[in-house]
Amino acid sequence: MAPAMPKLIIRVELSDTSAIGPGKVRLLEHIDETGSISAAGRAMNMSYRRAWLLVDDLNQHFKEPVTMAGSGGKGGGGAKLTSFGRTLVRQYRAIEAQALAVSSRHLATLEAAMKSRPSRATRRRSPTE
Amino acid sequence: MAPAMPKLIIRVELSDTSAIGPGKVRLLEHIDETGSISAAGRAMNMSYRRAWLLVDDLNQHFKEPVTMAGSGGKGGGGAKLTSFGRTLVRQYRAIEAQALAVSSRHLATLEAAMKSRPSRATRRRSPTE
């Protein structure tokens, strides 16, 4: 169950049908950690095909690819982020952090206006809050 | 066709299944302008039922409703934003404007990294950009 605090989600639309959001960025981060598109997909409960399509979608929009073939290793294959792929992740996380920093006061105002969550009856706010 | 400039989209998640994003905020703004949920829905090519469900979803999450019955007029009925509904729109637009202000440099960097749009062959960037 998510906490009651409203959460800011950043998406950057690249075209009418495509965007970079938390999902694709997390996928790139998993590729960076695991060295594999399929392992990154598994970490996010998605098929290799879906993970590949998300990576390919990014590659369609940028001059440089976001991943490249890994250096082999056990079983060969694998994938790693390109320098541009890392830059893309960094840019997104920077936008996200800065947007969160400037909006935290507004998010707190929204939170104060929200109902207590029905499923958390023991966690009610005081009536004066 | 959307321009090549990447566009920042802000969503505020209120729960696991619900968020405030550009669509709901635009709907509230249309209600404010038209004095009617159905007219606001029509302006966004959505059914009255869908527009009502989106408004109801917001009302489920906040202590105060975002709309109230209008004062009547021709045919009676109608709806208008409550003071809280207006506050909600204002908060969202403020978050959006501030997030855009702090991220414009990052968005410009992303734009420079994007491919020219295939459908706009006459609008290519110079190779040195």
- Residues ≥6 apart with Cβ < 8 Å to B76: none
| DSSP letter, residue B3 | -
**Cα separation, B59 vs A108, whole angstroms:** 18
For residue A11, pLDDT beyond 60: yes
Closest residue to B64, CB basis, from A94, A95, A113: A113
**Cβ–Cβ of B6/A12 closer than 8 Å?**
yes
pLDDT in tens, B61-92: 999 999 998 865 455 569 999 999 999 999 99
Task: Read off the pTM.
Answer: 0.82
- Residues ≥6 apart with Cβ < 8 Å to B35: B70, B73, B78, B79, B80
**Cα separation, B111 vs B114, whole angstroms:** 5
Chain A CB within 8 Å of residue B113 CB: yes
Q: A20 vs A11, A12, A13, A37, B7, CA distance in Å? A: 6, 5, 6, 17, 10
Chain B CB within 8 Å of residue A17 CB: no
Q: Do you know the residue count of chain B?
A: 129
Mean pLDDT over the full length of chain A: 86
What's the N-to-C CA distance of chain A in angstroms?
A: 23
**Mind telling me how many Å the CA of A32 is from chain B's nearest CA?**
20
Partners of A14 on chain B (C-beta within 8 Å) are 6, 114
For residue A119, pLDDT beyond 60: no
Q: Which residue did the predictor score with more confidence, A126 or B25?
A: B25
pLDDT in tens, B11-46: 999 999 999 999 999 999 999 999 999 999 999 999
pLDDT in tens, A58-97: 999 999 999 998 865 455 569 999 999 999 999 999 999 9
CA angle (B8 as vertex; B3, B14 as ends), nearest 5: 140
For residue A2, pLDDT beyond 80: no
For residue A124, pLDDT beyond 60: no
Output b/e per residue, A52-64; b: 16+ Cβ within 10 A. bebbebbbebbee
- Could you tell me the pLDDT band of residue B121, with boundaries at 50, 70 and 90? very low
Say if the ipTM goes beyond 0.90. Answer: no
CA angle (B7 as vertex; B11, B16 as ends), nearest 5: 15
